[in-house]
């Protein structure tokens, strides 16, 4: 709604609100369409790329079998084994047909993503579901915590931009932000885990325990999760802090901030309703962008901390050229990232009244 004259503005206010709700709905529908399309594109790219990786999973599998059995088989037996596996994995069909079969099973067969090589005959779907909670748990929790802490801290040091403490915080955040996540993780493992022995720094939980609903197991799980999450949080959180600080400083120069001070509002109201509320909008967008970029950092962290998540699964699958498992990992990571991005995107119009119309 753009009001052309003073008189028409009031009349169209109610209409405007109804139109506003309709537009919010359309925005949500459109966003969901983009979400489905991206998911499909990701599956397709993953399908073809992983099949083009050099190295035949059959040869690697046979090599492993030979080493395990400690003797050579005759050629005919090997041929039979290969033929058997190729049939199970549908590798004799032409590539386009394989692709269509893959999509058909995935969509109509209740997420049937085929068997895995890594733990044959286990289904990749089951493998991924078993590993996913580790990745999602560490990834989502650490990114969200990093965002909350970073946004709060950044808002504060942006608000107090001229104080010594603020300037020190900027230097520290910059240093942390440019440090690669594996260095932070290694530093924590070496110092906190092995030299000072404050927290466990390897494995998902203490070796002698079994997964069960006991306090002992849960506390072990949580203490083992601290360092991996901290590694991720330090690096991502420092980035969020710097971003929010810059946003606050630019908002502080806006005319509406001068006006808010001129109105005699308390500094807390000016900070909360005028500065923070406005700086928050691009910061939420930043969360959506960062979410995708930081998932690979979580994979590295899983490997360093020996956690049975999707990252370690992916590395195993890569070694065997297990395209089914690699595809499934990619599919589920993208699903997780897109879902978080979608939630963030749908939250934006709630924060910014201007998006409700222009999106």
Partner 1 sequence: MPALLEIRGLSAGLQGRRSITQVVSSVDLDVQRGEILGVVGESGCGKSTLATAIMRLLVPPQVLQSGSMTLRLKDGNTYELLELPETDLRQLRWRHLSYIPQGSMNSLNPVLRIERQMTDTLIQHGLSREEALKRSIAALEMVNLEPRLLDSYPHELSGGMRQRVIIAAAVSMRPALIVADELTTALDVVTQRQLLQELAGIRDELGATILIITHDMGVVAQIADRVAVMYAGKIAELGTVNDIFESPLHPYSQGLIGAIPRAGGHRVEGLPGEAPSPWNYPAGCRFHTRCPHVIDRCRAQTPALLPQGDGRWAACHLYEPEVLSNA
| CB nearer partner 1, residue 15 or residue 79 | 15
Instruction: Tell me the DSSP string of 217-229.
Output: HHHHHHHHHHHHH
Least Å distance between CB 278 and partner 1? 6
Contact with partner 1 (CB under 8 A) among 259, 293, 296, 347:
259
Spell out the residues 6+ positions from residue 118 whose beta carbon is closer than 8 angstroms to its own: 127, 313, 316, 317, 320, 322, 325
* Interface with partner 1, residue 121, by CB under 8 A: no
Give the other-Cβ count within 10 Å of 299's Cβ: 20
Q: Which helix (H) or strand (E) holds 38?
A: helix 6-52
Strand partners, 115: 123
Give the other-Cβ count within 10 Å of 160's Cβ: 15
Three-state secondary-structure class, residue 92? coil
* Interface with partner 1, residue 164, by CB under 8 A: no
Least Å distance between CB 164 and partner 1? 15
Contact with partner 1 (CB under 8 A) among 15, 263, 319, 347:
263
In contact, 341 and 329? CB cutoff 8 Å: no
Three-state secondary-structure class, residue 115? strand
* Interface with partner 1, residue 163, by CB under 8 A: no
Binding region for partner 1 (CB under 8 A) out of 134-142, 152-160, 258-266, 321-329: 258-266
Least Å distance between CB 346 and partner 1? 17
* Interface with partner 1, residue 359, by CB under 8 A: no
Instruction: Tell me the DSSP string of 133-187.
Output: HHHHHHHHHHHHHHHHHHHHHHHHHHHTTTSHHHHHHHHHHHHHHHS-HHHHHHH
Instruction: Name the DSSP class of 270.
Output: I
Least Å distance between CB 260 and partner 1? 7
Least Å distance between CB 275 and partner 1? 10
* Interface with partner 1, residue 23, by CB under 8 A: no
Least Å distance between CB 332 and partner 1? 36
Q: Rounded distance, CA 343 to CA 31, Å?
A: 10
Cα–Cα–Cα angle for 8, 12, 16, rounded to 5 degrees: 145
Binding region for partner 1 (CB under 8 A) out of 64-72, 127-135, 312-320, 350-358: 350-358
Given CA atoms 303, 308, 309, 311 in this order, what sign does their dihedral have? Answer: positive
> What x-and-dash track marks residues 264-303 binding partner 1 by CB under 8 A?
xxx--x---xx--xx--x----------------------
Binding region for partner 1 (CB under 8 A) out of 35-43, 102-110, 251-259, 313-321: 251-259
| CB nearer partner 1, residue 13 or residue 53 | 13
* Interface with partner 1, residue 29, by CB under 8 A: no
Least Å distance between CB 221 and partner 1? 41
| CB nearer partner 1, residue 2 or residue 72 | 2
Nearest to 91 by CA among 59, 68, 69: 59
Binding site for partner 1 (CB under 8 A): 1-7, 9-11, 13, 16-17, 162, 254-256, 258-266, 269, 273-274, 277-278, 281, 351-354
């Amino acid at each position: 709604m753009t009001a052309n004259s003073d008189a028409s503005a009031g009349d169209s206010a109610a209409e405007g609100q109804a139109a506003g709700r309709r537009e919010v709905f359309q925005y949500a529908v459109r966003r969901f369409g983009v979400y489905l399309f991206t998911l499909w594109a990701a599956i397709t790219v993953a399908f073809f790329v992983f099949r083009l990786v050099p190295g035949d999973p059959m040869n690697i599998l046979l090599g492993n079998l030979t080493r395990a059995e400690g003797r050579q088989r005759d050629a005919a037996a090997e041929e039979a084994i290969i033929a058997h596996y190729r049939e199970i994995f549908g590798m004799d069909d032409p590539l386009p047909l394989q692709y269509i079969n893959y999509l058909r099973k995935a969509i109509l067969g209740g997420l049937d993503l085929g068997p895995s090589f890594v733990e044959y005959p286990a289904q990749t779907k089951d493998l991924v579901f078993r590993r996913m909670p580790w990745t999602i748990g560490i990834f989502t929790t650490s990114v969200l915590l990093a965002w909350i802490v970073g946004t709060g801290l950044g808002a504060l040091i942006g608000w107090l931009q001229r104080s010594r403490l603020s300037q020190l915080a900027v230097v520290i955040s910059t240093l942390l932000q440019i440090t690669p996540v594996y260095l932070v993780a290694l530093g924590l493992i070496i110092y906190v885990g092995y030299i000072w022995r404050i927290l466990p720094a390897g494995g998902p939980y203490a070796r002698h325990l079994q997964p069960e609903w006991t306090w002992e197991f849960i506390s072990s799980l949580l203490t083992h999760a601290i360092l991996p999450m901290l590694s991720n949080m330090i690096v991502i959180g420092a980035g969020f802090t710097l971003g929010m600080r810059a946003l606050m400083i630019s908002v502080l120069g806006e005319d509406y901030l001068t006006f808010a001070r001129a109105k005699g509002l308390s500094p807390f109201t000016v900070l909360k309703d005028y500065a923070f509320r406005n700086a928050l909008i691009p910061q939420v967008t930043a969360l959506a962008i960062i979410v995708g970029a930081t998932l690979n950092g979580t994979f590295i962290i899983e490997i360093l901390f020996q956690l049975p998540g999707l990252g370690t699964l992916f590395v195993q699958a890569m070694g065997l050229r297990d395209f089914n498992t690699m595809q499934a990992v990619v599919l589920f990571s993208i699903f997780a990232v897109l879902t978080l991005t979608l939630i963030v995107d749908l939250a934006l119009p709630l924060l910014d009244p201007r998006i409700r119309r222009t999106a």
